[in-house]
Structure 1
Amino acid sequence: MIRIDRSVWEQMIGHCRLALPREACGALFGPKGDSGTPAVTFLSPIANRAKSPETEFAFDAKDWIYSLYEAERSNRQLLGIFHSHPMTSGTPSALDMAGASHNRLGYWIVSFARPEQPIVRVYRLEEAIGGSREFTPIPYSVI
Structure 2
Amino acid sequence: MLSIAITCPAYEQLLGFCRKSLPQEACGVLAGAAATPDSPAVVTHVYMISNVHEEPVRSFRFHPGEWVSAYYDIQKNRQSLVGFFHSHPISSAVPSKRDWLGLPVSDDGLTYWIVSMPGSPAAVVQPFRMVGQTFRPLVLVLA
Aligned residue for 1:16?
18
User: Does 1:78 pair with 2:81?
Assistant: yes
Aligned to 1:47, which of 37, 47, 50? 50
Separation in 2, partners of 1:49, 1:58: 5
Normalised by the size of structure 1, how large is the TM-score? 0.90
RMSD across aligned positions (CA): 1.3
Residue from 106, 118, 121 that aligns with 1:116: 121
Measured in 2, the distance between the counterparts of 1:58 and 1:99 equals 5
Deviation at 1:99, TM superposition (A): 4.0
Give the whole-Å Cα distance in 2 for the aligned partners of 1:49 and 1:115: 25
**C-alpha distance after superposition, 1:94-120 (max 9, x if no partner):** 111344412311111000124221111
Residue type of the alignment partner of 2:106: H
Query: Which 5+ residue runs of structure 1 have no aligned equivalent?
Result: 128-132
SS at match of 1:41: strand
Deviation at 1:126, TM superposition (A): 1.1
Post-superposition offset of 1:31:
3.3
Q: State the identity %.
A: 34
- Give the secondary-structure state (helix, strand or coil) at the position aligned to 2:74: helix
State the TM-score, normalizing by the size of structure 2: 0.90
Please, which runs of 5 or more residues in structure 2 have no aligned partner?
none
What does residue range 20-99 of structure 1 map to in structure 2 within 5 Å? 20-31=22-33, 35=36, 36-99=39-102
